[in-house]
Amino acid sequence: MRYTPIALHYVLGDKIHASSGVYITPISPLKSSSSSSASFILTINHIPNIGEYSIYANLGNTDTPSQVHWHRVSILEEVSINPSEFEFFDTHNQFKLYPRDQYGRTISILKLSSSVLNSDTETLPSPISTSLAGAAGGVGGPVATKSSISVGDQVTIVSSPFNFTNSLIFHQFTTTARIVYKVHTNDHDADNGDGVADYWLSDAAYMENMAGGAVIDNKVNSLVAANGDAKVGNNTNNNTSENKLVGLVLGNLRKTNGDGNLMVIIPLRKIV
């Protein structure tokens, strides 16, 4: 089970929008889907009537640094996120959730695919992207529907900000963030002990087109013996980093008077 952060463009006539996404192969499908082992793309959509748009994915498979290859993809499934889940953010009309409120208050999860994604062509990138190996500690690993992320934990975000403006410079942009708060839309869920929450808030700066970006838990874990002592052997590295995909960037929660903003992350638990 591997993943690669990618960039997406949405085209309808003279309208062009952009976002980030994650190319996954294989993975359990969305909760309402039948089982499938085919590769596909997950992203967060904020554009109304997205089915009318032509969608293109930049998978990072460039021959030279000056080229971008866009592959046509189609919508396999769209799952709407209940807008009432965000009412707790804005009881006094003091917050905006971007880019949702920029386009018309639409939020949905998109599952995308095409024959290109599931072909054997050598033009597709390996899901363990060598370009990300240095930037994000070697991206590729399990998709964590149950995560041990806690408030105060550090995560890595890999996305394509400003890819509408320049798809070369900002592809697979890496930033470090810290989880500062867990949001439970139901008071009862806050006490259920699963430690996941419905949404996470982060101190990372949100930039245009980051929605759908990969949120990765790549903290290093030491292998520990049964007696609690760390196992140490000759020429053995006992630290492991799984680079678990734990969520997607949902958007930016912004105070209307400009006092501040926080990035909103949706855990994979709510998606797959």
| C-beta of residue 8 within 8 angstroms of C-beta of residue 156 | no
Measure the CA–CA gap between 44 and 270, rounded to whole angstroms.
Answer: 12
Poorest-pLDDT segment among 72-81, 129-138, 166-175, 204-213 = 129-138
Local confidence band at 154 (pLDDT 50, 70, 90 cut-offs): very high
Over residues 231-247, mean pLDDT: 58
Choose between 157 and 62: higher pLDDT.
157
3-class SS at 203?
Answer: coil
Local confidence band at 140 (pLDDT 50, 70, 90 cut-offs): low
Q: Look over the chain and give the mean of its residue pLDDT values, rounded to a whole number.
A: 75
Encoding tokens for residue 262? 């926080």
Q: Residue 35's pLDDT is what?
A: 45
Choose between 165 and 43: higher pLDDT.
43
Its pTM stands at 0.78
Question: 199-202 and 261-267 as β-strands: parallel, antiparallel, unpaired?
Answer: antiparallel
Residue 241 has pLDDT above 50, yes or no: yes
Query: What torsion, rounded to 10 degrees, do the Cα atoms 157, 44, 129, 37 define?
Result: 130
Q: Residue 170's pLDDT is what?
A: 78
Q: Residue 1's pLDDT is what?
A: 62
Measure the CA–CA gap between 142 and 95, rounded to whole angstroms.
Answer: 34
Q: How many other CB atoms sit within 10 Å of the CB of residue 19?
A: 29
Residue 212 has pLDDT above 70, yes or no: yes
User: Buried (b) or exposed (e) across 141-153, using 16+ Cβ within 10 A?
Assistant: bebbbebebeeeb
Residue 79 makes CB contacts below 8 A (sequence gap 6+) with: 30, 32, 108, 109, 111
Written as one string, the DSSP assignment of 147-202 is ----TT-EEEEEE-TTTTT-TTTTTTEEEEEEEEEEE-SSGGGGGSS-S--SEEEE
Over residues 238-242, mean pLDDT: 52
Residue 73 has pLDDT above 70, yes or no: yes
Identify residue 263 by its one-letter amino acid code: M
Residue 71 has pLDDT above 80, yes or no: yes
Choose between 191 and 178: higher pLDDT.
178
Q: Residue 196's pLDDT is what?
A: 62
Encoding tokens for residue 235? 């020429």
Over residues 261-271, mean pLDDT: 89
Measure the CA–CA gap between 268 and 199, rounded to whole angstroms.
Answer: 10
Over residues 190-211, mean pLDDT: 78
Residue 17 has pLDDT above 90, yes or no: yes
Helix, strand, coil percentages, rounded to 5, for the chain: 10, 40, 50
Is the alpha carbon torsion for 90, 95, 100, 103 positive or negative? positive
Residue 77 has pLDDT above 70, yes or no: yes
Residue 70 has pLDDT above 80, yes or no: yes
Q: How far is CA 245 from the centre of its chain?
A: 8
Domains annotated for the chain, with CATH where assigned, are 2-270 (2.40.10.120)
